[in-house]
Structure 1
Amino acid sequence: MHILLVEDDPLIASGIAAGLAAQGMTVDSVGTAAHAEAMLGTITFDVMILDLGLPDEDGLLLLRRLRAREVPIPVLVLTARDAISDRVAGLQSGADDYLVKPFDLRELSARLHAMVRRSSGRSTNLIKHGTLVYDPDAALVWLNDAPVDLSRRERALLNTLLLHKGRVLSAGQLKDSIYGMSDELESNALNVHIHHLRRKLGNHIVETVRGSGYRLGPAASATSPARGSGE
């Protein structure tokens, strides 16, 4: 899950980013509404965490502007404003969820997963693709009922492909989904992750669309080989 965190307090932002990164999420953090808007115009995020007390404008103004432009990104408002009227205003302005500071990182993580689950039309947290089952909340993967050990980047890549089933995603979009702006990225990093995913889950899991990018391959049946031989 690639998250845009809009929080002007550096201490809070670094704590949230570190806590979510430890749970396998990719977090880009900005401190102003203007910077957030610029990031949304260049990178595809799965969800946004939005503080309301930003230095350049109230976060609700940014949220209303995004919704007026029909920007569909799920938004969780994270703020110290705890009055019922504030919660109502946030939800009516287009927020998908509202969490009051102070908060528990486990609850924040659970709410983020629930928002992404709802936005993708799933009723449960498990994502199934043939005999492949992925639990993004617990960061667990099974193939043919056997657990498969994936790295954090590999899980992020798999999650992106599963959430965009049927869509062709460019190399840039896949890189955005697994790397933050501050991450150092080697030129062949994406190819390495795709190679590992194919080796562990079978060559069919990532389909190359020449000249366009990649997409989730066809679902494997119980009789399909669990391991591919590589790219």
Structure 2
Amino acid sequence: MLGFVGAAGRRLTPATHIILLEDERLLREDLTEFLVNQGHSVQAVGSIAEFESGFVPGRHLIAILDLGLPDGDGMDVIGRLRRDNLRLGIIVLTARMAIRDKVAGLQSGADHYLTKTTDMDILAATVDALARRLDLGGVSGDWVLDGDQKQLVAPGLPPIELSAQDYTVLKAIFDGQGQSVSKKTIVAALGEDFLSYDLRRLDTQINRLRRKVVDATGADLPLKTLRNEGYQFCGAVAPR
């Protein structure tokens, strides 16, 4: 099982559209949550058939693939992707630990080969490094936080209505200009005393915001959770 260790202190690449192929449901959900909290947009699938129907060339810019799947071998998927000559980063994430398997994975066209004992920080750094190397950006255009209308506008999508508290939290994070914003700063923006404030309320607020954005637009909010520290907005932000 992958280790859940925070990845604080790293400078982020722009949010990247990722397709994740993992047949173990709980692990798939854990990985999706982790990558979304890193600020990425993730489509998670559990079989090769779901991958082939859900993969969109030009939108999904990194694929994270298991190898042992219920309807085939991930090696075959990698081979087909590479034969199509796509501009796509491929990361294998598998339980197969033998050197011969790693060699075969890399020879088939994977950019990186990680095992499921890999620490989460290594996965996060690998995604970021691969995105930088390929010069990939996930979300095109800018996010706009409209203080007059109390709306959040995702790139190319309809505005999302915000509550006063939603707006206050997002403004504090946006004011960080892409840097880490501490929970203490956000709590102060809400007019609360940090020493007596229950931080679970803030966690709940952030989770509601994520769901609100997904429900309204189908897009993920490119907001990275910095464990025990705060939050960092990864998308491009239009000046207001």
TM-score where L is the length of structure 2: 0.53
> Where do residues 87-106 of structure 1 align in structure 2 (5 Å cutoff)?
87-106=102-121
Q: Give the whole-Å Cα distance in 1 for the aligned partners of 2:129 and 2:33.
A: 20
3-state DSSP of counterpart to 2:49: helix
Residue 197 (str. 1) matches residue 212 (str. 2): no
Q: Comparing both chains, which one has the higher relative contact order based on Cα–Cα distances under 8 Å and sequence gaps of 6 or more?
A: 2
Count how many residue pairs are aligned between Structure 1 and Structure 2: 144
The amino acid of 2:85's aligned partner reads E
- Verify: 1:148 aligned to 2:177, yes or no: yes
Residues 1:24 and 2:39 are matched in the alignment:
yes
Q: Give runs of aligned pairs for residues 38-57 of structure 1, distance below 5 A.
A: 38-41=53-56, 44-57=59-72
Aligned partners of 1:29, 1:55: CA distance in 2, in Å?
Answer: 15
Q: What corresponds to 1:175 in structure 2? A: none
Q: Contact 2:21–2:44 (CA<8 Å) still a contact in 1?
A: yes
Task: Tell me how far apart the structure 2 counterparts of residues 149 and 32 of structure 1 sit (CA, whole Å).
Answer: 35
Runs of 5+ in structure 1 lacking a partner?
122-145, 152-178, 191-195, 200-227
**What secondary structure does 1:48 align onto?**
strand
**Residue number in structure 2 paired with 1:5:** 20
Amino acid at match of 2:132: R
Tell me what 1:184 maps to.
215
Matches of 1:39 and 1:93, distance apart in 2:
22
Distance 1:9 1:106, change over 3 A: same
Give the ranges of 4+ consecutive aligned residues of structure 1 lying more than 4 Å apart after TM superposition: none
Partner residue of 1:113 out of 119, 123, 128? 128
| 2:238 alignment partner, SS class | helix
How far apart are residue 41 of structure 1 and its match?
A: 3.5
Residues 146-197 of structure 1, C-alpha deviation per residue, up to 9 Å, x if partnerless?
952589xxxxxxxxxxxxxxxxxxxxxxxxxxx99x931249x99xxxxx93
Gaps of 5+ in 2: 1-15, 137-174, 181-209, 222-235
User: Against the structure 1 CA distance between its residues 78 and 186, is the aligned structure 2 distance closer, same or farther, given a 3 Å change threshold?
Assistant: closer
Structure 2 letter corresponding to 1:183: V
| Alignment RMSD | 3.3
After superposition, give the CA deviation of every residue in 1:176-224 in whole Å (9 maximum; x if it has no partner).
Answer: xxx99x931249x99xxxxx9323xxxxxxxxxxxxxxxxxxxxxxxxx
How far residue 43 of structure 1 moved from its aligned partner, in angstroms, is 6.8
